Amino acid sequence: GESVGLHLPTLSVQEGDNSIINCAYSNSASDYFIWYKQESGKGPQFIIDIRSNMDKRQGQRVTVLLNKTVKHLSLQIAATQPGDSAVYFCAEKKITGGGNKLTFGTGTQLKVEL
């Protein structure tokens, strides 16, 4: 069956350092891999996605890397700020022409220390 999971439940980093959040997936048929950020008591906020035919995509202060050989996804946050403290979920999506639902992983808590 398909599953998306995270290696570490909590990641603590110093303000200004780079953060790397990892995710393992098992569904090779997924078309997109997505990172969401969830702050306490709020809904998931889209950060960045990557299509399965790519291996790297950059956004503002964030980079997503996809390694299909080992089924691994990572989110790199440059110069981590206190506002980056949140739970980060990876998710995957298969484009079916129908609902194209998201399947979420269990989340990693990122704590930014001052």
Partner 1 sequence: EPEVTQTPSHQVTQMGQEVILRCVPISNHLYFYWYRQILGQKVEFLVSFYNNEISEKSEIFDDQFSVERPDGSNFTLKIRSTKLEDSAMYFCASRESRDFGSGNTIYFGEGSWLTVV
Which residues contact partner 1 by CB under 8 A? 31-32, 34, 36, 41-46, 49, 51, 89, 91, 93, 95, 97-107
Which amino acid does the sequence have at 87?
Answer: V
3-class DSSP state of 83: helix
Distance of CA 78 to the CA centre of its chain: 14
Least distance in Å: CB of 14 to partner 1?
26
The dihedral region occupied by 36, where left means phi > 0, alpha psi between -120 and 50, and beta the remainder, is beta
For residues 102 and 44, the answer to whether their CB atoms sit within 8 Å is no
Q: Which is nearer to partner 1, 76 or 104 (CB)?
A: 104
Nearer to partner 1, 69 or 97 (CB): 97
Quote the CA–CA distance of 1 and 9 in Å, as a whole number. Answer: 22
Provide, rounded to whole angstroms, the least separation between the CB of residue 104 and partner 1: 4
Beta carbon nearer to partner 1, 14 or 101: 101
Question: Cβ 49 to partner 1, closest distance in Å?
Answer: 7
Which one, 80 or 107, has the nearer CB to partner 1?
Answer: 107
